[in-house]
Structure 1
Amino acid sequence: MTQDALFTKEAPPGPKPISKGHWGTVVLLSLIISVVAVLIGTHKIQVGPAAIVLFPIIWAVVIGGLIGTQRIRPISGASRTVATLLLEIGIIVFLARLGTQIGPSLTKFTELGPAILLQEVGHVFGTVIIALPVAVALGLGRVAIGATWSIDRESFLAYAIQRFGVRSGEYRGVFSVWLLGSLFGAVFISLLAGFLGGLGIFDPRALALGLGLGSASMMLGGVGALSLLYPEQAGEIMALAALSNLITNIVGFYAGVFLSLPLCRALYKFWSRLFGRDDDGELITARHGTKAGITPAAPAESNLQLSVETDPPLKVTPRVIFAAYAIVGVSAVIMNSVGTRSFVGSDALGILVLLLLTGLSFRLARLVPSIPSSVWVLAITTILSAPFLPTSAWIAGLTQHLDVILIGLPALTLIGLTVGRDVSALKSLSWKIILVAFLTYSASFIAAAAIGQFTLHL
């Protein structure tokens, strides 16, 4: 069912079968939360010259998270399984809509070519340069390597499992940053993007380029905030962010493995010597003291194994897949109608086309596992909507009334509803790794935006 395999705990014995009630619970909750989020609307909190933008995406994730972690009537593992399937499809549908906004703008971006390509340098090296020394100074030991060589999405997590093993400090760092990013990344990046956008220091196009973090949910959060701050440039912001994210998805993993990780390991040794830390994060002088009879320190945190609870498996049949796609499509149409307060017949046809392209992308990802569905869907929709193809006008006509933020809203709501699965792992994280994780996200975004800013204004 999922695109990437993760190591998890064994599921409790005898889980209840997934029923229509579980499907109904998830669909009803996601729609209610999404509608409430839209009704709450957008609010700006002025902080000096900048502004914190609170908008429906944030409300949806926060409300979903509160419901997903409450213990009065907890969300069952079976319901979380359904939510995960719908989330995977919903995110790709959102990316499909973003792709249809890239194509018509391709000719505009020819002059931005260097900026689009060079921003990846910020994503690859920004985290290592900025976050790594802080992580080492805090005493994270080899956890610092895993936590700062990238923002650690699913492909990096799988690589860390194979490369370092699940009991390594590097894996613990990767896991922690992956987990926090999956649960809170969208909200954090949306707040950061809104704050930086409000300062007026960066060109909004540079900030859009910085949002190509390799995470669809983080990009969606940041795009939403910037689009509200710069409504006249909303279309360009969305297209640039999606194009930047596509490039990161294509080359980011390989750049991370072959460039960022070796640099991170080399600089880790330098910073460890400078701060006098060993691989467990302890002060070297204190560790040497054990030879004089001092009681050894407790086992380092980096040797602990982290995992998330496994939800009951879902038997994926053609009927289940059809139902999931139908739910995602209907939810998208409903939210677009609620948010825009309008409905035209082409909206439903547009969603149907996006669903078909989503299905094609999943199929291609199974045939060519090295290329994820997110890359396939962005590439396909970008090409089909490009002005040099006859399909561009047809795609534009069907999708012109579809608001990309509203379409992605139910999917982000589902992120919140699945938080309960990860509560145990979250409780085991120290404040140090949490601080470093958010610093890693910030460093990747800001470094890429700064390079984009410099390149745009050469």
Structure 2
Amino acid sequence: MRNEAKTTVGPATALVDTPPTRSFRASPAMWLAMIGISTAVCAVAIMIGTHKFHLGPAAIVLMPILWTVLIGGFLGVQKWKPIGGRARAVSTHLMDVSIVFFLAGLGTQIGPSLTKFTNIGPAILLQEVGHVVGTVILALPVAVALGLGRTSIGATWSIDRESYLAFAIQRFGVRSPEYRGVFAVWVLGSVFGAVFISLLAGLLGGLDFFDPRALALGLGLGSASMMLGGVGALSILYPEMAGEIMALAALSNLVTNIVGFYAGVFIALPMCQKLYKMWSRLFGRDDLGRRVRRGSLVGAGGTVAGTSGQARTSGALSESDESPDIEAVDVNGIEADPTVVRSRRTWLIAFAATGGAGILLNALGTGSARPLDVVGVLILLALTAVALVLAKLVPAVPSSIWVLALATIASATFFPFGPFIASTTQNINVLFAGLPMIALIGMSLGRDVKALRSLSWKIVIVALMTFTASFIAAAVIAQVALNF
């Protein structure tokens, strides 16, 4: 662990480290700095707004979530007044609550739509299989062959949208190679995903091989921006079917948002972890992506020998291991931050900051503020608290799973309190209320930037493979189902 000398930088002094200790108590100034800066970043991003540009059949959509990534990321990597390890530790504490709060909001959007499943055909349901297995089957071997190591798992078990990013933080931790794979694909998807999918949809649609309805179903990737980009391209190619294409893509996206997360967590991720071991042995790669002798790879135990001859165990592939070992952290260039002492007071601060920022940013983004929205935010915070407690009592199930399930069930209209919870949260746009999570992640980028740079062009290729595989595999399965 490196030592950082204290630097006097005026009002931003709280953001610069004194020599780190293993754990510390954050000052009120540091809490206020991280809460204030992250909220301000989100407010600026919302005020910049959404801008859409057309490039032939492609649609380029620039949204607040992208501005938040860029501004937060800039603050995280700039050297003028750097955000140090202690500030990032406070950010992590805030992020733990913000992530679960975001997923609670997502769950309350899903619950009221559960009844729509009664009219969903087999093609819409079966295409989800393509999203689940397409990335793992097609993109994973490419990632391993390129030498991404365990980063391959995070980069290819899904297209890594917001809910998967939240789960990866909960499941693997922000210092793990798996998380960096998820984060890198998420960033690339946020920046280039809509453009790439719109170009790909236009290319496939122009081939006259796929039924336009199958391509529309394949656009249910779990990303609204990617879906809209693809819909725009297909609508230009098939103007007479524009309404049907939009309806099918939206319905498919709804299915992905409801069941895709669970399918990814319980089917795609375990499958990806097992196949990763097989491809690593086949290509002669260790967990860091380095080439090793075939005889050095021990298949049964998951132990991989590096080029130095020292064996290391890929423990992050075990369901019981939540974080990478110190050696993996150091080799991959991730700084070991100190940890903030967590107490009842710090949890109250984190919950208050999350709720307050959620109310403010939702009002700013939607242009409306209702007293009922405050009740909705309090309900989301209550669901967040329950999920965190349950995750502590049952460590095998992370809070991200608990809260999404609880919020979905609680807001389902066929349960007694479902209509009330749905009515109190219907005006809460989770992409605004949960935006501080994105800002905090971006502001922590200074810790990960060395590792992301080391991935270079390889992660770009794998990300594009992941998007392509998910879309095409889902479209093929939908095509078969429609013609069955």
Give your verdict on TM over 0.5: yes
- In the alignment, does 2:442 pair up with 1:392? no
**1-structure distance, mates of 2:407, 2:476:** 28
Alignment partner, residue 450 of structure 2 = 424
Hey, what does 1:112 align to over in structure 2?
120
2 CA distance for matches of 1:93 and 1:156?
15
Q: Which piece of structure 1 moves more, 112-121 or 349-358?
A: 112-121
- CA shift at 1:27, angstroms? 1.6
Give runs of aligned pairs for residues 78-157 of structure 1, distance below 5 A.
78-112=86-120, 114=122, 118-119=126-127, 121-132=129-140, 134-135=142-143, 138=146, 140=147, 150-151=157-158
Which residue in the other structure is 2:342 paired with? Answer: 316
8 Å contact from structure 2 (residues 111, 413) kept in 1? yes
Give the 3 Å change call, closer, same or farther, for CA 451–23 of structure 1 in structure 2.
Answer: farther
Counting aligned pairs with the same residue, the percent is: 36
Match in the other structure for 1:365 = 391
Say whether 1:54 aligns with 2:80.
no
Q: Which amino acid aligns with 2:339?
A: P
Secondary structure in structure 2 of the residue aligned to 1:74 = coil
Change (3 A) 1:120 1:369: farther
Deviation by residue 1:58-112 (Cα, 9 ceiling, x = unmatched): 0111111011111111112222222222222222222212211222211212343
- Mean Cα displacement is larger for which, 403-412 or 338-347? 403-412
Q: What SS does the corresponding residue of 1:122 show, helix, strand or coil? A: helix
Output the CA distance in 2 between the equivalents of 1:438 and 1:96: 27
For 1:104-152, what per-residue CA distance to the aligned partner results, in whole angstroms no more than 9, with x for missing partners? 21121234375576455434532344334544665x3967965776359
SS of match in other structure, 1:429: helix
Q: 2: distance between equivalents of 1:29 and 1:356?
A: 25
Pairwise CA distance, 1:367: 1.3
C-alpha separation between the residues in 1 aligned to 2:359 and 2:437?
13
In the alignment, what sits opposite 1:454? 479
1:184 is displaced (CA, Å) by 5.0
TM-score (norm 2): 0.70
Amino acid at match of 1:248: A
Distance in 2, matches of 1:42 and 1:198, equals: 23
Is the partner of 1:428 in helix, strand or coil? helix
In structure 2, distance between residues paired with 1:426 and 1:400: 37
- Separation in structure 1 between the aligned mates of residue 228 and residue 385 of structure 2, nearest angstrom: 25
Matched, 1:349 2:390: no
CA deviation vs aligned residue, 1:169-193 (integer Å, no higher than 9, x gap): xx96x46524524665544545555
2:217 to 206, 212, 216: 206
How has the CA–CA distance of structure 1 residues 144 and 59 changed in structure 2, closer, same or farther, with 3 Å as cutoff? closer
The one of 178, 181, 197 equivalent to 1:177 is: 181
Deviating more after overlay: 223-232 vs 325-334: 223-232
- Change in Cα spacing, 1:78 to 1:366, as seen in structure 2 (3 Å) is same
Aligned pairs for 1:9-20 (under 5 A) are: 13-15=19-21, 17-20=25-28
In the alignment, is residue 376 of structure 1 matched against residue 402 of structure 2? yes
> C-alpha root-mean-square deviation of aligned residues, in Å?
4.2
Is 2:463 the counterpart of 1:438? yes
Per-residue deviation, residues 192-246 of structure 1 (Å, max 9, x unmatched): 55666788957697356432xxxxxxx5875897899999869857743431343
Q: Give matches, 1:244-259, under 5 Å.
A: 244-248=259-263, 250-252=265-267, 255-257=268-270, 259=271
Distance in 1 separating the partners of 2:28 and 2:229: 36
| 8 A Cα contact 1:75 1:420, kept in partner | yes
Separation in 2, partners of 1:225, 1:362: 36
- Amino acid of the structure 1 residue aligned with 2:453: K
Letter in 1 for 2:120: L
8 Å contact 1:332–1:351 — kept in the other structure?
yes
Task: Give the superposition deviation at 1:416.
Answer: 0.8
Q: Structure 1 residues 227, 237: closer, same or farther in 2, change over 3 A?
A: farther
Q: What residue number does 1:35 align with?
A: 43
Please, what TM-score do these two structures have when normalized by structure 1?
0.74
Q: Quick one: distance in 2 between partners of 1:141 and 1:41?
A: 36
Q: 2:73 aligns with which of 59, 65, 73?
A: 65
Residue 142 of structure 1 contacts residue 281 of structure 1 at CA under 8 Å; is this kept in 2?
A: no
**Any conservation in 1 of the 2:102–2:434 contact (CA below 8 Å)?**
yes
Distance change (3 Å), C-alpha of 1:227 and 1:379: farther
CA contact (8 A) 2:105 2:380 kept: yes
Q: Measure the CA separation in 1 of the matches of 2:381 and 2:229.
A: 26
CA distance in 2, matches of 1:415, 1:28: 15
Q: Does structure 2 retain, via aligned residues, the 8 Å contact 1:149–1:264?
A: no
2:57–2:232 CA contact under 8 A, matched in 1: no
- Runs of 5+ unmatched residues, structure 1: 1-8, 212-218, 274-278, 285-297
